[in-house]
Amino acid sequence: MTAQEILSLLVSFPVLGGESNASIANWIEQYLTTHKVDFQNVHDHKANKRSIHCRIGPPVDGGVILSGHMDVVPVQGQPWSTDPFTLTEKSDSKLYARGSCDMKGFIACCLAVLPEMVKADLKRPIYFAFSYDEEIGCLAAPALAANINSYYSEQPKYAIIGEPSMMQPITGQKGIVIYKTTVNGSAGHSSRIKTEVSAIFESARLILWLEEKMNRLIEAGHIDQRFDPPHTTLHVGKFDKSGIAPNVVSDSATFHWDVRVIPKDDCRAILAEFNAYCAELIKEKQKLFSEFDIVTTEAHSNVPPLDTPDKLEVVEFIKGLVDNQELGAVSYAAEAGQFSEAGFQSVICGPGDIAQAHRANEFVSIEQLELGVKMIRRLVEKQS
């Protein structure tokens, strides 16, 4: 089967992040079995979800992991001009479907080259590592990477995460974490605001602190020109319905914010500083209202950044597999930082453009898909 034929099957399984991925996992496992490749699962039994990993080639050190995620983002409310779960080739030589680009295209490339991998006389192995729930916070990759480390007696060396990068090697990725902050104030008549504590006023103070913190990082020179924008961002994207009337002091408010860090900044350090500011505010406001409180929880696990130094061997290695030799960095979350933390030298490189991901009429060009196949064929040669 060609990569395009496999892709048309993969996109027909509408597995969203958070949902059971049994349908697409079954098909991939059947395909692996047909080619006599043993595979392992890392389960979330409760929710009927599983990652898949397998090795093609001998159990020796120096292997390369090809990593992809099987889930996609929803299509609701998006103006699709074709069925999002049917791969549609148009006269512009582009293949349209949800996940065509992010990132079933890469998985299709891996599976299309599998028969050649199996036949090749590999001296060092190639692994597939396919996860679920990437789109809702890269939830499955840490357990998948850990299982690869513990299951195989040999040590894989590199990981290529096939997120859409237009086949450009990406060695930097921002880290991301999402927080939810709830402020507990006192209810009362608005005329008494000087003796009550408004949850909305205090939330506003905290929200502006977050924006100022971002600006302070920039002013202090925390800049990494590889990224666009070249600095850590802090952003409040959602303020829950709060308060009941203009003349009633609001007793509760909740807001949701994200932090996207360049590798030199640390999400946890930013949170610690925010919490220290909250602690001061709590102390001061409790003089007016003893139950005043601010509670911040992690709403989305911390996805670490990727910062692969140019001197690491994987950089030369990936340059040997692709035509584009210019290294890049991305601001979206991906599993690359997690594979790197698990001990594999990691880079992102895959077919398609991230600009097409998550939107209506997502596509991957046939040319990009062919370049993906070409990279994996070169990998087979290199490992032979």
102: contact with Zn ion by CB under 5 A: yes
143 or 282: CB nearest Zn ion: 143
Pick the stretch among 96-104, 105-113, 190-198, 366-374 that binds Zn ion (CB under 5 A): 96-104
Strand-pairing partners, residue 346, are 159
| Smallest gap from residue 103 Cβ to Zn ion (A) | 4
Work out whether 129 is an interface residue with Zn ion (CB under 5 A): no
DSSP 8-state symbol, 72: B
Residues in contact with 98: Cβ distance below 8 Å, sequence separation at least 6, in sequence order: 11, 14, 72, 73, 75, 84, 85, 362
Distances (CA, A) of 156 to 14, 232, 337: 31, 32, 16
In this complex, which beta carbon is closest to Zn ion, that of residue 102 or of residue 224? 102
* Span interacting with Zn ion, options 34-42, 99-107, 195-203, 376-384, rule CB under 5 A: 99-107
> Per-residue contact track with Zn ion, 162 to 181, x per CB under 5 A?
-x------------------
Q: How far is CA 95 from CA 65, 67, 208, 360, in A?
A: 26, 22, 44, 13
Closest chain position to Zn ion (CB): 102
Least Å from the CB of residue 156 to Zn ion: 21
**Number of residues binding to Zn ion, judged by CB under 5 A:** 3
Q: In terms of CB distance, is 55 or 98 closer to Zn ion?
A: 98
Q: Which of residues 58-87 bind Zn ion (CB under 5 A)?
A: none
Q: Taking the CA of residue 194 as centre, how many other CA atoms within 13 Å lie in the half-sphere pointing to its CB?
A: 1
Span interacting with Zn ion, options 31-39, 97-105, 115-123, 191-199, rule CB under 5 A: 97-105
Q: How far is the CB of 334 from Zn ion (least distance, A)?
A: 6
* Partners of 161 in the β-ladder: 67, 348
Task: Using DSSP bridges, classify how beta strands 248-249 and 293-303 pair: parallel, antiparallel or unpaired.
Answer: unpaired
Burial of 168-186, coded b for 16+ CB within 10 Å and e otherwise, reads: bbbbbbbbbbbbbbbbbbb
Of 103 and 140, which CB lies nearer to Zn ion in the complex structure? 103
The span from the CA of 37 to the CA of 362, in Å, is 31
Q: In the range 266-305, which residues lie near Zn ion by CB under 5 A?
A: none
Q: Name which of 97 and 270 has its Cβ closer to Zn ion.
A: 97
CB closer to Zn ion, 65 vs 278: 65
Say whether the peptide bond before residue 166 is cis (omega within 30 degrees of 0): no
CA distances from 205 to 126, 146, 198 (A): 52, 41, 11
**Cβ 331 to Zn ion shortest distance, Å:** 13
Task: Write the CA distances from 200 to 93, 239, 281, integer angstroms.
Answer: 52, 10, 14
> Minimum CB separation from Zn ion for residue 192, in Å?
51
Looking at 103, 176, 206, 259, which residue binds Zn ion (CB under 5 A)?
103
Q: Whose Cβ is closer to Zn ion: residue 101's or residue 183's? A: 101
Nearer to Zn ion, 134 or 258 (CB): 134
| Shortest spacing between CB 21 and Zn ion, in angstroms | 14
**Dihedral, CA of residue 12, residue 16, residue 17 and residue 21, to nearest 10:** -60
> Closer to Zn ion at the Cβ: 177 or 334?
334
CB of 293 vs Zn ion, minimal distance in Å: 37
Phi, psi of 382, deg, nearest 5? -65, -35
The footprint of Zn ion on residues 135-164 (CB under 5 A) is: 163
**In the complex, what is the shortest distance from the CB of residue 102 to Zn ion, in angstroms, rounded to a whole number?**
4
CB 86 within 8 A of CB 12: yes
Report the C-alpha gap between 246 and 198 in whole angstroms: 12
Smallest distance, Å, CB 173 to Zn ion?
Answer: 11
Which residues are near Zn ion by CB under 5 A? 102-103, 163
